[in-house]
Amino acid sequence: MDETMKTLSRRNFLKASAAAMTTAAGVPALKGLVSTGHAAAPAPQAGPITDHFTACDMCFNRCGMIARVQNGRVIKLDPNPKFLKSRGMLCARGNAATAHIYDPDRLKHPLLRKGARGEGKWQRITWDQALDHAAEQFERIAEKYTRCGVMFSPGSDMQSQFLIRFAEVFGSYNITSHETLCLLSLHRAYLDTFGETPYPDVLYSKYIIISGANPYEAIITPDTIDLMEARKNGCKLVVLDPRYTKTAALADEWYAIRPHTDMAFFLALAHVIIHEGLYDQQYAEEMLFGLDELRAHVRKYTPEWAAGETGIPADDIRRIARELAAAAPTSMVYTGRRTSDYEDSTQIRRSMAIVNALLANWDRPGGILAAREVGVRAPYFDIPWYDDNPDDRIDYGMAPGLIHHEGSYKLMRDAIIKGEPYPIRGWFTFKTNFMQTAANRNKTIEMLDHLDFIVNADIAMTDTAWYSDLLLPSPSFLERNDPVSALQGSSACACAIWRDAVVPAMYESRDMLWICTELSKRLGFPETFDFDIHQYREWQLAGIPEAAQAIKEDGVYYNPSKVYGIYADSPLRTQAQKIELFNQRYANMGLDPMPVYKPPRPTEGKFRMVVGRTAFFTHSNTNNALLIEFEEENTLWIHPEPATRMGLRDGERVFVTSDVAQVELALKFFEGIEKETVYMATGFGALSPGQRLVHNRGASIAEVLEDHADYITGNMAMHETLVTVSRKVG
Amino acid sequence: MKKYAMVVDSSVCIDCKGCMVSCKVQNNVPRGYWRNWIKQTTPDFSLGKLTRTHFQPGGCMQCDVPTCVQACPSGATFKDQETGIVHVNESLCIGCGKCVRACPYGARFRHPEKRVPDKCDFCFSAGRLAQGIPPACVDTCPTKARVFGDLNDPDSEVSRLLRDNHTVRVTSANIDTQPNIFYLAATEPANWPGDVEFPQSFSVMASLVNPLVKVAVGLSALGVAGMWAKQAFAPDSEDDEQGPEASHPEPTVSKQD
Ligand code: SF4
Ligand code: SF4
Ligand code: SF4
């Protein structure tokens, strides 16, 4: 059976892979796992082991988990095999959630700041004192500066909806989410092209171009897993990235594209597809708006021209365009992550969306899919009117394509510092850490100087917590009952989940529903939170009464709703009611109706810094005893050629200087990075000594990143940062 | 009787390290040590757009010719006939460390507190197999690069994979350990197992006697030598403090059969 190493035939490879997946799907979920002894094994721990369904919270993916509990302790987390969104897997971060909940650095009691902000002097207080204090401060700010004088940052938690409800009833429009550092420009681009944000149907695709995103390493479910499965079935993968990521390492072709030239590549693809007539004419007639304008627009964007911008040979660009079109409509430009990159990121994403439109892959297998019906309702509540409130959000009108319910953290921060158009003096943050996730940390600190009162609810002493006035300890996701959450993703799922506490809440931690309930009593609107979690879930599931049982039995409910052809009989939600290659609204607003390429600003001997994720850290979740073993501190990746020219040595410590800060960390020579580009991992160099594993270790990318913004959405534009690298003297 | 084995499709491994963390949590593996690992090839960037890296998962190979068992003077390390798993009976271990050196894969490390060897046992002692759930690394893997099962069961996934595919075993140059981790063909790197450092004094006897006899021998005749060895092993030696990646001598040429 075992033979000499030979190249495996395609057929055998497929068989093997198919078999491997079958095993995976067949793993039984078990009840009452009991440890067994063995003559040679160490004595088993006492107590039976019980299993509980839950969903991971180490990143936003919410993969299905089975928590194994013994003697009141979570001893192991395993994947829920029935959870299609995560395809029965848990990544390294999910597995390390045990170290997250039993982290000795956890916040344990409400704490009130005593010394100066950031000084680290805290006084332990009771919950009653904490809530009274918070309510008093909110009322004081509301009275003096209106209710919009308090900003709310609800994070991406399953309980965030309670804080949003609270904020809206309290009366503030100034709610800002994590999306403002992430996917806003992607949403905008697809909203303005297709009428909604799509989900890539990776599993059934035959040809995928990924530009910027890094699904094999950053892990997004089910795309990461489906991308491997699709490739076993013959899907070709082309990756454009100035950095040799794991996705690049496993791709069929990887191009170390010059940063900020992606749009040139996609306009050239459009050029080839249109001018060689490689698109579906009938489809174009029925579905596309503005093809003639686009044809004229992309005439000058030839592959030869794009080669000069991107560094990718014209022959390759032309060939890729033809291959992509040949595989259409079962091919795609991956819609992507990491879209908070450039000042024209909405237009860059528009250029990708336009290529997708030319592939006719919208709402079709192996293409990009519309959101499916899940059936979870958002319980209704009355939003009161406050006469003295300003007319709108503080960042209203500052970006033409601002997404109203997300705002722009970058623009809000600037407005708060200026005190215009009106003052904001309070901040309520929940499980989000702008100090480590938003560009230009010093500016966030500057913003704090304009705030009178900052309350932060979180599980850990993050940098944002460290600079707050009042800390409310939160339970981990394994210690609380969460409302229903609807999930989408690929063709795999339109599903609903909830979480029940797997172990009791530790220390004095309290969940957001409880906090909002208590605060609403103190602030005079108790009727907003006159329900318990079970009642709330019932309201949410009123339209799908069968869901509750499924969630109890399998940890997840799937809605058998339509996957493809959702728009078969209805017009798209764009102004033209078709796919807008040419965007009429942009034209009216004085924006380019089609993406116009602008070359990157010259680096002038500096390096462009890019951001990225590893499979074992997510944003600022690095303070984890299990995960930190893979990378004890971050390094600055640099190509050996420019580095050597500058007289730098591999491993030496350097200063990295941008227009906003200077940080210090060790160099890592790596040929897998474009020569004008440098990279460092997120989540290190924490200011907070309450995160012992990352405090002063490595450097904070949030500190050195300059705070540019996408001019359409106000999304952070992190890749606009240019830095110098210099030897650390002395 | 079972013969547990793992078939690894290294071509689908994305180096996410989920298997390493899952194993570490399940088996309480201490900081700085691992029972399993991902090895990788060094990318050749002169290949430009075709530059690739191959990631290869591994762990104790549960060898059919377990040099660790042969090297063990006390019989603490033994191959279980019921399952094919190579175990360590901690109460019989004299801590001499010979098994750690005798494993060409660097699959064993000395547990820093227990001061006995530790390594993968397919999550047997964690109780997973008895409950019918796969080893922690297999269960958690996003791409199911690791497939686990019983080779004596012709219907098992591993049996089927071996029947239908070309597979390779990665083994050391000087002794074919006949490992029970099989790689679907085209795995890389394959040149990493070291030479077996085989303690001469025990080798002849070890290969002759069965584990039960070795228990007796280990406790009597070899007892004195064993106790001395435990002393010698006890101070931290650089080599043994490392995980499998680092604890190993320079890789030598491999043999695939
Ligand atoms: S991708 Fe990993 S961290 Fe994110 S939810 Fe899934 S298991 Fe958890
Ligand atoms: S891999 Fe090493 S420890 Fe495992 S059975 Fe083989 S020789 Fe023994
Ligand atoms: S979990 Fe699977 S894909 Fe991830 S590193 Fe381990 S073997 Fe590779």
Among A587, A186, A189, A590, CA closest to A354: A189
Q: Are B190 and B173 in contact (CB under 8 A)?
A: no
Nearest CA to ligand 3 atom 2: B141
B15 pocket-lining for ligand 3 (C-beta < 6 Å): yes
* pTM across the whole model: 0.89
A436 C-beta neighbours (distance < 10 Å), count: 28
Instruction: Kindly determine whether residue B157 and residue A78, on different chains, have CB atoms separated by under 8 Å.
Output: no
List pLDDT tens digits, range A12-29. 333 333 333 333 333 333
Banded model confidence at residue B233, pLDDT cuts 50, 70, 90: very low
For A204-241, what is each residue's pLDDT tens digit? 999 999 998 999 999 999 999 999 999 999 999 999 99
Cβ atoms of residues A92 and B21 within 8 Å = yes
d(CA A20, CA B155): 13
Q: How far apart are CA A28 and CA B131, in angstroms?
A: 10
Which candidate, B58, B236, B29, places its Cα nearest to that of A625?
Answer: B29
A210 lies within 8 A of chain B by CB: no
Residues of A in contact with B139 (CB under 8 A): 27, 78-79
Distance of CA B82 to the CA centre of its chain: 18
Pull the structure tokens for residue A111: 């704490």
Is the minimum distance from the CB of A221 to ligand 1 under 6 angstroms? yes
For residue B252, pLDDT beyond 80: no
Predicted confidence at residue B199, as pLDDT, reads: 66
pLDDT higher than threshold 60 for residue A699: yes
Q: Please tell me the distance between residue B14's alpha carbon and the centre of ligand 3 in angstroms.
A: 6
Categorize the per-residue pLDDT at A40 as very low, low, confident or very high, splitting at 50, 70 and 90: very low
Q: Is A15 in Cβ contact with B17 (below 8 Å)?
A: no
Q: Do B187 and A77 touch (CB under 8 A)?
A: no
pLDDT at B243 (0 to 100) = 36
Yes or no, beta carbons of B141 and A92 under 8 Å apart: no
Q: Which of A121-125, A698-702, B107-111, B215-219 has the lowest mean pLDDT?
A: B215-219
Cis peptide before B189 (omega within 30 of 0): yes
Residues 123-152 of B with CB under 8 A from A: 124-127, 130-134, 136, 139-145, 147, 149
Confidence of residue A730 (pLDDT cuts 50, 70, 90): low
- Best residue in B22, B85, B215 for a mutation probing chain A (most A CBs within 10 Å): B22
DSSP code per residue over A417-479: HHT-SS---EEEEES--HHHHSS-HHHHHHHHTT-SEEEEEESB--HHHHT-SEEEEPPPGGG
3-state secondary structure of A600: coil
Q: Do A249 and B124 touch (CB under 8 A)?
A: no
Nearest CA-CA partner of B117 in B102, B128, B134, B130: B102
Region of poorest pLDDT, from A194-208, A540-554, B231-245: B231-245
- pLDDT band, residue A252 (cuts 50/70/90): very high
Percent of chain A with pLDDT over 90: 88
For residue A118, pLDDT over 80 is answered with: yes
ipTM of model: 0.91
Which of the listed residues B14, B23, B54 should we mutate to test ligand 3's pocket, taking the one with most ligand atoms within 8 A of CB?
A: B14
